[in-house]
Amino acid sequence: MSNSADTAVVCDSSQYLPPEVIAAKGIGVVSLYVSIDGHQEAESQITDYDDFYSRLRQSSSGATTSQPSLGDFIDVWQPLLDQGKDLVSIHISSAISGTFEAANQARQRLIDEGKGGERIHLYDSEMACGATGLCVLAAHAAIEAGGGPAEALARAKGVRETLKMWFAVDTLEYLRKGGRIGGASAWIGGALKIKPILTIDREIKPIERVRTRARSLERLRGYARQLHESGADAWVIQHIQDPETAEALAVDLREIFGGKPAFISEIGPVIGAHVGPGLLGVGAVSWSLLEPS
């Protein structure tokens, strides 16, 4: 078993862990990009989400997103490799983003150039947002417990195998515009008025159609109860431009799970561009995956 100081965790910007958590744990972040009306920005440079979502609402063409360049990965990885570290790099589902493929190419370039690329262990979370974030936290916990890359990957896999995050989306309009609607495409047509509940299981998949916001929140609470009954207790909430509803939901989830959240955070521009304001997401795993032990 390698020394925990020898392994570092890296992820991309689409997991939306609270910035203070990323900073406290020293997790490296490779940024994706978002463009509105032809103006491209690195997601990690956008700190004012209110301003971004205001621009998104006003844009007639919506936003486009793109994966990091090979150089973006190398810029984050190389300093860590130069310190002699192994890297575990965890990313958004390859079925909805080219990020993981770009990571593979960047790793191969470092191998070809003799710069330690073989010490980079890539993991396709097959999920996004907080679900990927929980994989990242689990991997980091394994390293804190004295594990190396194998143990970190096994923990991330433990999250992947036990977690689905449900997302209540305010409208299908943004997903339709962005072409990322996956298995929920059958719900288009006259269905833009519904409040769908989706999950990301490799691609975006539909769970249920409901008619009202209140009903979708009730389904999220029901899902939380289901998760609690299955033994999950480290819960998360993510939202887009709706901190009030997220906080009200958090009050209910504290009661359901009988404890504190793993985190509550706002989803940023890259995923937000495709789902739009008003999203709420809920998920939970066992604290045993997230605590060094």
pLDDT 10s digits, 206-259: 888 888 889 999 999 999 999 999 999 999 999 999 999 999 999 999 999 999
Which parts of the chain register pLDDT below 50?
A: 1-3, 189
User: What's the one-letter identity of residue 213?
Assistant: R
Q: Among 279, 266, 269, which Cα is nearest to 53's?
A: 269
- Per-residue pLDDT at 183: 52
- Per-residue pLDDT at 292: 93
Pairing assessment for the beta strands 234-239 and 195-201 based on DSSP bridges: unpaired
Give the CATH fold of the 166-290 domain: Hypothetical Protein Tm841; Chain: A;domain 3 (3.30.1180)
Residue carrying the six token digits 């887009």:
240
- Which distant-in-sequence residues (6+ apart) come within 8 Å of 260 by Cβ? 254
In CATH terms, 4-160 corresponds, of 3.30.830.10, 3.40.50.10170, 3.30.70.20, 1.10.1660.10, to 3.40.50.10170
pTM for this model (two decimals): 0.93
CATH 3.40.50.10170 residue window(s) in the chain: 4-160
Helices and strands of the chain, counted as H and E runs? 11, 13
Pairing assessment for the beta strands 234-239 and 86-91 based on DSSP bridges: unpaired
